């Protein structure tokens, strides 16, 4: 049975929970439209995150990969369209690394488009009453690092693997410690992930995303 790989991050930045992992792990073992869903935990560390991703991809041989990460400023499920070849950290990662103006992959293209049907996924989420939209910047921290690395892996070794990234809001218990920050219940994120996976398995790539890279 083919696999859809979902990844979530460990807590970072002083948090004790990361809703990206709390959500994706609930779908580990789920079957959707003839596909098995596998969930893997990724360290919030430059470099090590890509090593973990590489092991997860080798183990699961996924037809599609949807990586998930939290973003304090997001008020909806944000489907990222573009991964950029840039590591530029405002805060240290969980290993104390803080790269500035470094490439994710030396010699790689400036950017990659997601290869999942992000417009259709966002529309399906909104149709189900879940706040969702498109984003044109995944930042320059470990989330973008992982997204770009996954796209680069697809480009150089696994052209059949479709790749995307989803940013989610803080969980309510996190937002309570950050007054003014939006939040979304993990249960709603899980419901959104079910819709996102179902949609990506029944929809082709968006036209622009199919173009692949930005030089």
Q: Which of 166, 168, 192, 186 is nearest to 65 (CA)?
A: 166
Q: Which CATH architecture has domain 3-214?
A: 3-Layer(aba) Sandwich (3.40)
3-state secondary structure of 10: coil
> Where on the phi/psi map is residue 29: left (φ > 0), alpha (ψ -120 to 50), or beta?
left
The answer to whether residue 44 is catalytic is no
Residue 80 is among the residues annotated as catalytic for this protein: yes
CA atoms within 13 A on the CB side of 50: 18
The catalytically annotated residue of 15, 35, 44, 143 is 143
Would the pTM count as exceeding 0.85? yes
One pLDDT digit (tens) per residue for the chain, 215 residues: 999 999 999 999 999 999 999 999 999 999 999 999 999 999 999 999 999 999 999 999 999 999 999 999 999 999 999 999 999 999 999 999 999 999 999 999 999 999 999 999 999 999 999 999 999 999 999 999 999 999 999 999 999 999 999 999 999 999 999 999 999 999 999 999 999 999 999 997 655 555 566 65
Q: What is the residue extent of each domain of the chain?
A: 3-214
How far from chain centre, in Å, is Cα 191? 16
């Amino acid at each position: 049975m083919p696999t859809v790989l979902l990844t979530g991050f460990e807590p970072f930045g002083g948090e004790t929970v990361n809703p990206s992992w709390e959500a994706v792990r609930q779908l580990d073992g789920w079957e959707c439209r003839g596909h098995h869903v596998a969930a893997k935990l990724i360290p919030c560390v430059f470099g090590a995150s890509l090593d973990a991703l590489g092991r997860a991809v080798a183990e699961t041989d996924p037809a599609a990969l949807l990586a998930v990460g939290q973003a304090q400023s997001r008020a909806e499920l944000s489907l990222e369209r573009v991964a950029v070849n840039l590591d530029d950290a405002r805060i240290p990662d969980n290993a104390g690394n803080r790269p500035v103006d470094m490439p994710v992959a030396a010699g790689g293209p400036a950017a990659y488009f997601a290869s999942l049907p992000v417009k259709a996924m966002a529309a399906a989420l909104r149709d189900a009453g879940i706040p969702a939209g498109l984003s044109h910047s995944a930042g320059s921290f470990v989330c973008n690092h992982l997204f770009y690395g996954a796209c680069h892996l697809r480009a150089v070794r696994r052209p059949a693997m479709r790749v995307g990234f989803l940013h989610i809001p803080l969980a309510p218990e996190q937002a309570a410690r950050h007054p003014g920050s939006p939040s979304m219940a993990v249960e709603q994120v899980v419901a959104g992930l079910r819709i996102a996976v179902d949609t990506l398995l029944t929809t082709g790539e968006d036209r622009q995303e199919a173009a692949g890279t930005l030089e």
